[in-house]
């Protein structure tokens, strides 16, 4: 992995790098340290390739949110982990699709959990491969919002597209489970990405695209439990 650590306080940069190196060793992970957002953006302009960015929100020269928006212009899907002592600022991170938020001072256990989640994402932000009309259509599993059963077909709904293919719904759910554990069955016809649920009540969930999907009677408690577990784990 190639990880950028951007923080204007050297103690936090060193702490993060120390934990990363203790977990993986310098032969598996390369860390690139920057004291502000301008340094990072300058490196991106020179063509540096990165797998993830740890980014302080509050920096004097170029704040973290502004830096993240510039990073997104070059890296659409790179995981951005925000570091902040003001957790109320976390909501702004949805604009740049932040991967995680870590509160300062950094909790080592939380950081290790984030690194484990990051490693899984980089290894298996796997691709959903759909076979339709003689073609292979490939999408990141993270962009899959939900799948829907429709007679003998399954409709795959992504952030920017949808594809319907002939397939058993049970088989589609099993295939998704092999890629990620972040989907939940809310109804006999809907299997939804927890990362794309913005709101829920006993009868429906609202997805990141604003769609309302039905929650089956008797399933609400389990869906709510899974969603809360996901939020606690990811810091979303």
**pLDDT, tens digit, for every residue of 31-50?**
999 999 999 999 988 888 88
Question: In terms of Cα–Cα distance, which of 179, 188, 148 is closest to 165?
Answer: 148
Q: How far apart, in whole angstroms, are the C-alpha atoms of residue 61 and residue 199?
A: 36
**H-helix or E-strand spanning residue 150:** strand 144-150
Instruction: Based on the fold, state whether residues 136 and 174 are members of the same structural domain.
Output: yes
* Residues 175 and 105 grouped into a single domain: no
Query: In CATH, what number is assigned to the domain containing residue 209?
Result: 2.40.50.1020
Q: Are residues 94 and 157 in the same domain?
A: no
- Share of the chain residues as helix, strand and coil, in percent rounded to the nearest 5: 40, 30, 30
pTM: 0.53
Rounded to a whole number of angstroms, the distance between the first and last alpha carbons of the chain is 23
Domain boundary among 73, 102, 124: 124
The answer to whether residues 116 and 184 belong to one domain is no
In this structure, are 8 and 101 located in the same domain? yes
Burial 68-88 (b: 16+ CB within 10 A, else e): bebbeeebeebbbbbbbeeee
Q: Tell me the CA distances in angstroms from 37 to 42, 65, 222, 233, one per residue in order.
A: 9, 10, 41, 27
Please say whether the beta carbons of 97 and 55 come within 8 A.
Answer: no
| Residue numbers of the chain with a pLDDT score lower than 70 | 86-95, 123-125, 233-236
Looking at the structure, tell me whether residues 106 and 137 fall in a common domain.
no
User: Count of CB atoms within 10 A of residue 21's CB?
Assistant: 14
> What pLDDT sits at residue 165?
95
Count: domains in the chain: 2
147 with 199, same domain?
yes
Claim to verify: residue 108 and residue 151 sit in the same structural domain? no
Domain that holds residue 53: 2-124
**Is residue 51 domain-shared with residue 108, that is, in the same domain?**
yes
Do 43 and 97 share a domain, yes or no? Answer: yes
Are 208 and 96 contained in the same domain? no
């Amino acid at each position: 992995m190639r990880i950028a650590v951007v923080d204007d306080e050297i103690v936090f940069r060193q702490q993060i790098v120390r934990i990363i190196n203790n977990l993986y060793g310098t032969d598996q992970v390369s860390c690139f340290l920057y004291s502000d957002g301008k340094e990072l953006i300058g490196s991106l302009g020179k063509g540096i390739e990165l797998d993830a960015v740890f980014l302080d929100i509050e920096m004097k020269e170029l704040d973290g949110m502004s830096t993240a928006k510039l990073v997104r212009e070059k890296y659409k899907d790179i995981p951005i982990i925000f570091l902040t002592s003001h957790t109320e600022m976390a909501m702004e991170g949805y604009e740049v699709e932040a991967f995680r938020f870590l509160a300062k001072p950094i909790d080592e256990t939380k950081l290790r959990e984030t690194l484990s989640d990051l490693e899984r994402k980089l290894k298996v932000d796997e691709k959903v491969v759909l076979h339709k009309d003689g073609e292979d259509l490939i999408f990141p599993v993270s962009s899959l919002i939900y799948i829907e059963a429709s007679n003998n077909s399954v409709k795959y709904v992504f952030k920017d597209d949808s594809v319907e293919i002939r397939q058993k719904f049970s088989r589609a759910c099993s295939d998704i489970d092999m890629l990620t554990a972040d989907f939940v069955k809310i109804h006999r016809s809907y299997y939804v990405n927890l990362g794309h649920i913005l709101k829920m009540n006993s009868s429906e969930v609202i997805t990141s695209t604003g769609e309302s999907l039905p929650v089956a009677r008797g399933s609400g408690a389990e869906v709510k439990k899974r969603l809360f577990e996901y939020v606690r784990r990811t810091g979303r």
